[in-house]
């Protein structure tokens, strides 16, 4: 039996995508093997026009020596539109094995040219049905087909939001189609396989059409008609018969229009549905449409049409209410038990004309009443009027709400109570594949991860929105860039961000400036702030790192450059950004009274991000082989860093802005080094300690705060920050019952009152960016960034504290499943690692000794798949191939201590190999002390900056020498 196999084939990230317009689609696959250390040496990739006949393939790579299994482009004959292509893969490995062919997968193309659209845009005749009419439009057409249908596809899009029906049945399950893009430049259309829904005789197509993002209310000033003032539909049905002939049904003058039961529908405000106005059979053939109106064909463009790029929005989960109760104000309220985004579906049996109203909200106030204040002008109200004919069922079609609680009015009570069994919550978001799992021994940290995931689900509704409940729900660039690395761990967001970044590129201004929100619906004057516009650079680079998507990086490269060059043109000094409007450290807690902008100098933040984006553009130039740009941006980065130090570092090595965020950015963006870096790390740590392990950072500083601490010798402080549960902290909201991430650290204050109504979302994912640090540092699941997409993995768990005795991260990368999990007891450390086939890893087992490690129940020396072993000061470093590894070794430290530079030195005080070196630096330090407390006191004096008996800059030298001594000693044992 061959235990090498190929699985999980995808095309453009998707399994069997229906209706793409990529001329050279890229495929990826994963490998399975029963042997550790398996690597792909070569592949063969075949494409055929028939599923079961590859004898004469359309294209065959033949035996191709290559270890890549991601984003392999099709390079065969030019593809045809509206055609299905089948493909399969086989591989050869480093053990001389040849796999069987994979199972067959496929992709299907849509239209490559605008001329292939035979349809026209239609809308109800404005003389008969006003374009500004609030009710959703119904449009229909009857048609006849021949017998012998082989296949049929509908291609459809709209100006507005549409739902599609065929012969009385809904077509597909996607919601809020065609999605939200920069409509004038890029409008998605969807492809539906309707072969099984057609009859070999009479048929009828029906479309429901609402305002949606196209012409409905957007943003907080009541703005409407952002993209146009007329709804429209464009639809084409292509039918192929067994005899080889084809027939096309199009949108044209022959269609009819009316209104129906949806009297009102808005993204922010909800939906009103009068079931008495339902037109039974309106999307069936034979329906009497005598009173329906005519349609007109619009002169709308077709050149902006693109096939669906991202994952569609769908119902991904259902939740049952946990209870219904009566508030002190006498309202009947349903509690879903989870702040969710989506809709309520309910059943009801009541007399005709019964008016049921549901108002959605996120939280209760301190008196226990439902709280609507933070919705601002958004109504979030669903109204349903019964027709009175048995059991009726309803869920809104063209809106979504952010809510945990629902106030219900008018619903018939049973024995004086609301029958919650008749209500269900449908969770709605872009239907991305979940890729990440993170769990710990600490229930509050687990709840934090739960909140991060639910915050992402609620705000990834076709675009990465800032909030899902109030009159905003916009694609804020700053929120997206700070959260993207966390987002891409939790879900496969390749298609999601590919589509959004193409809109960013489309909406970017000619001078390189970037709007605050994408798609851009705000005035042009509201744009181009640092950390927000930097999404143009940070997001494509992050997608490249996580998914290895070099094609997207190349596609966005000019946009990335334009943003950096935009900054370069600001002000008089090309190496500083100290002009224009900046949002600064948004919502920083050190802000002045009545200000949203934190205390960190905005020009410091702007220049720091300028350096970071310039560095990433340089790195992208390296990846893309643009040598001249590498030189150009290398010089630019050096100049920015030099001027940053001149402008923002005093002669004594202190930052001019004494804030947590200032120190964080200087450290994580590598803007300082040597003594200045050491002092910056020390000052940051001191600020956190002096604030009793609380943060003061806003949107800009928070994502990087724990990285700055952990990566500069203060991991213990970072862990204590994570575990802090009093305001302000990540766990404070959990102590208040949060089930998603809040916009403000004190959205609910300790006394139960609320932050201001004007901007107080309880589902706002930005502060959930802490997840990235939890996964990569605490769990230790990271990568060597020179080998993107986790081709070379770095596993380095940071064992920590009595409150964290177990941590596990699982990530389903494009190569396969990666696991980094650790458990510590008083006496033992257990670490589980899984490395997918066709990748390798560096594994660092913290504070372990080679002679003590067991793997899989046996000595490490007998472990297969381990390519090298090295003893180092921080533990044992291993080079490993693919496979599952289970390590265990004695816990020499016990519980309750987080491993930092200082704790390493403490351990070395008890290690003979280190004493001589320590004595050279600090005579007497290794002599026995009367108590452990005195020994700790001496160590603190050794390592403290302000009382240094040993110069701080010598610490790394000390560590290096101790490392060499330890390695020499351990290798002799």
Residues acting as catalytic residues: 472, 743
- Beta pairing partners, 84: 108
554-591 burial by CB neighbour count: b if 16+ within 10 A, else e? Answer: bebbebbbbbbebbbebeeebbbbbebebbbbbbbbbb
CA 256 from centroid of its chain's CA atoms: 42
Q: Report whether 175 contacts 208 (CB < 8 A).
A: no
User: What is the token pair recorded at 305?
Assistant: 């049409």
The answer to whether 371 touches 359, Cβ cutoff 8 Å, is: no
Q: Residue 869: CB partners within 8 Å, gap ≥ 6?
A: 850, 860, 876, 877, 878
246: phi > 0 → left, psi -120 to 50 → alpha, else beta; which?
A: beta
Sign of CA dihedral 390, 395, 401, 405: positive
Non-local (6+) Cβ contacts of 244 within 8 A are none
Question: What is the C-alpha to C-alpha distance for residues 530 and 567, in angstroms, rounded to an integer?
Answer: 9
CB atoms within 10 A of CB 285: 17
HSE value, Cβ hemisphere, 13 Å, CA-based, for 642: 9
HEC string of 874-891 equals CEEEEEECCEEEEEEEEC
For the chain, how are helix, strand and coil distributed in percent, rounded to 5?
Answer: 25, 30, 45
Here the tokens at position 378 are 């958004």
Residue partners of 758: CB distance under 8 A and separation at least 6: 376
Residues 6+ apart with CB under 8 A from 777: 706, 707, 710, 711, 715, 718, 798
DSSP readout, 560-605?
HHHHHHHHHTSSS-TT----S----SBT-TTPPTT-SB-SS-HHHH
> Distance (Å, rounded) from C-alpha 4 to C-alpha 6?
7
Distance separating alpha carbons of residues 226 and 214, to the nearest angstrom: 6
Residue 932: count other Cβ atoms within 10 Å of its Cβ.
9
What is the full DSSP assignment across 647-708? HHB-TTS-BSS-SHHHHHHHHHTT---HHHHHHHHHHHHHHHHHTTS-----TTTHHHHHHH
Strands 105-109 and 18-20, bridge-based pairing: parallel
Asked whether 183 and 212 are in contact (CB, 8 A), the reply is no
- Distance CA(63)–CA(76), nearest Å, equals 15
Question: 622-652 burial by CB neighbour count: b if 16+ within 10 A, else e?
Answer: ebeebeebbebbbebbebbbebbeebbbeee
**Displacement of CA 400 from its chain's centroid (Å):** 20
Peptide bond into 728 cis (omega under 30): yes
Question: Structure tokens of 175?
Answer: 């919601």
CA 121 to chain centre: 34
Write the DSSP assignment of 379-429 as a string of letters. --EEEEE---SS-EEE--SS--EEEEEEEEESPPPBTTB--GGGEEEEEEE
Phi-psi region of 3 (alpha: psi -120 to 50; beta: other; left: phi over 0): alpha
213 preceded by a cis bond (ω within 30 of 0):
no
């Amino acid at each position: 039996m061959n235990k090498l196999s190929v699985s999980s084939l995808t095309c453009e990230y998707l399994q069997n995508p229906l209706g793409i317009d990529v001329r050279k689609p890229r495929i990826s696959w994963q490998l399975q093997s029963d042997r550790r250390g398996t690597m792909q040496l070569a592949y063969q990739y075949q494409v055929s026009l028939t599923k079961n006949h590859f004898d004469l393939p359309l294209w065959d790579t033949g035996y191709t020596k290559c270890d890549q299994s991601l984003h392999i482009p099709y390079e065969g004959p030019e593809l045809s539109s509206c055609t299905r292509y089948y493909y399969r893969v086989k591989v050869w490995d480093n053990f001389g094995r040849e796999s069987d062919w994979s199972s067959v997968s496929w992709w299907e193309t849509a239209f490559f040219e605008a001329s292939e659209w035979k349809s026209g845009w239609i809308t109800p005749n404005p003389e008969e049905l006003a374009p500004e009419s609030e009710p959703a439009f119904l449009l229909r057409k009857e048609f006849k087909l021949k017998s012998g249908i082989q296949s049929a596809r509908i291609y459809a899009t709209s100006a507005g939001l549409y739902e599609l029906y065929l012969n009385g049945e809904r077509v597909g399950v996607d919601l809020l189609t065609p999605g939200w893009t920069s409509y004038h430049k890029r409008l998605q259309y969807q492809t539906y396989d309707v072969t099984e829904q057609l009859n070999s005789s009479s048929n009828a197509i029906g479309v429901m059409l609402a305002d949606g993002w196209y012409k409905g209310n957007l943003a907080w000033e009541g703005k409407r008609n952002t993209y146009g003032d007329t709804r429209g539909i464009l639809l084409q049905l292509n039918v192929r018969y067994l005899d080889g002939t084809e027939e096309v049904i199009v949108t044209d003058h022959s269609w009819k229009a009316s209104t129906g039961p949806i009297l009102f529908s808005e993204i922010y405000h909800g939906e009103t549905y009068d079931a008495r106005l339902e037109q039974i059979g309106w999307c069936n053939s034979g329906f009497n449409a005598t009173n329906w109106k005519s349609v007109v064909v619009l002169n709308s463009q077709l050149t902006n049409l693109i096939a669906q790029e991202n994952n569609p929005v769908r119902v991904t989960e259902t939740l049952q209410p946990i209870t219904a109760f009566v508030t002190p104000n006498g309202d009947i309220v349903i509690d879903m038990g989870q702040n969710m985004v989506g809709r309520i579906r309910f059943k009801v049996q009541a007399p005709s004309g019964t008016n049921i109203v549901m108002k959605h909200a996120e939280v209760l106030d301190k008196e226990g009443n439902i709280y609507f204040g933070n919705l601002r002008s958004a109504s979030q109200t669903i109204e349903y009027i019964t027709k009175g004919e048995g059991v009726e069922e309803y869920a809104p079609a063209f809106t979504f709400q952010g809510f945990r609680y629902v106030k219900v009015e008018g619903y018939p009570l049973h024995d004086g109570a609301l029958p919650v069994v008749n209500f269900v919550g449908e969770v709605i978001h872009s239907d991305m594949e979940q890729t990440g799992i993170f769990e710990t021994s600490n229930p509050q940290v687990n709840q934090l991860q739960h909140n991060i995931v639910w915050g992402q689900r609620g705000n990834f509704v076709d675009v990465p929105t800032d909030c899902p409940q109030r009159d905003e729900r916009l694609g804020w660039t700053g929120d997206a860039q700070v959260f993207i690395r966390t987002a891409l761990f939790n879900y496969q967001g390749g298609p999601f961000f590919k589509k959004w970044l193409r809109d960013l590129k489309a909406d970017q201004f000619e001078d390189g400036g970037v709007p605050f929100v994408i798609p851009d619906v705000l005035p042009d004057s509201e744009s181009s702030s640092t950390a927000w516009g930097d999404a143009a650079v940070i997001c494509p680079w992050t997608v490249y790192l996580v998914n290895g998507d070099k094609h997207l990086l190349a596609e966005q490269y000019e946009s990335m450059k334009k943003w950096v060059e935009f900054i370069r043109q600001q002000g008089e000094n090309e190496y500083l950004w100290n002009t224009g409007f900046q949002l600064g450290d948004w919502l920083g807690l050190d802000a002045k009274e009545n200000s949203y902008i934190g205390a960190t100098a905005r020009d410091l933040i702007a220049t720091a991000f300028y350096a970071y984006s310039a560095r990433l553009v340089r790195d992208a130039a390296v990846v893309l082989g643009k040598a001249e740009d590498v030189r150009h941006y290398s010089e630019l980065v050096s100049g920015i860093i030099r001027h940053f130090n001149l402008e923002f570092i005093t002669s004594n090595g202190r930052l001019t802005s004494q804030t947590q965020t200032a120190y964080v950015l200087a450290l994580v963006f590598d803007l300082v080094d040597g003594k200045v870096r050491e002092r910056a790390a020390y000052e940051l740590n001191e600020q956190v300690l002096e604030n009793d392990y609380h943060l003061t950072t806003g949107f800009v500083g928070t994502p990087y705060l724990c990285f700055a601490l952990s990566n500069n010798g203060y991991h213990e402080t970072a862990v204590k920050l994570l575990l802090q549960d009093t305001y302000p902290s990540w766990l404070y909201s959990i102590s208040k019952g949060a089930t998603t991430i809040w916009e403000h650290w004190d959205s609910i204050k300790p006394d139960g009152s609320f932050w201001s109504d004007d901007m107080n979302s309880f589902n706002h994912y930005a502060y959930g960016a802490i997840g990235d640090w939890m996964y990569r540092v605490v769990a230790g699941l990271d990568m060597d960034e020179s080998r993107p997409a986790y081709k070379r993995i770095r596993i380095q768990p940071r064992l920590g504290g009595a409150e964290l005795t177990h941590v596990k991260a699982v990530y389903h990368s494009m190569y396969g499943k990666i696991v980094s999990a650790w458990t510590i007891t008083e006496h033992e450390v257990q670490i589980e690692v899984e490395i997918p086939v066709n990748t390798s890893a560096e594994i660092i087992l913290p504070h372990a000794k080679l002679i003590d490690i067991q793997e899989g129940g046996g000595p490490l020396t007998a472990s297969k798949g381990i390519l090298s072993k090295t003893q180092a000061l921080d533990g044992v470093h291993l080079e490993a191939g693919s496979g599952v590894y289970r390590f265990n070794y004695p816990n020499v430290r016990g519980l309750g201590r987080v491993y930092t530079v200082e704790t390493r030195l403490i351990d070395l005080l008890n290690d003979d190999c280190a004493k001589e070196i320590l004595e050279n630096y600090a005579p007497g330090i290794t002599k026995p002390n009367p108590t452990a407390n005195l020994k700790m006191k001496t160590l603190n004096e050794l390592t403290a900056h302000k009382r240094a008996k040993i110069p701080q800059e010598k610490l790394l030298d000390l560590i290096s020498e101790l490392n060499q001594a330890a390695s020499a000693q351990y290798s002799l044992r």
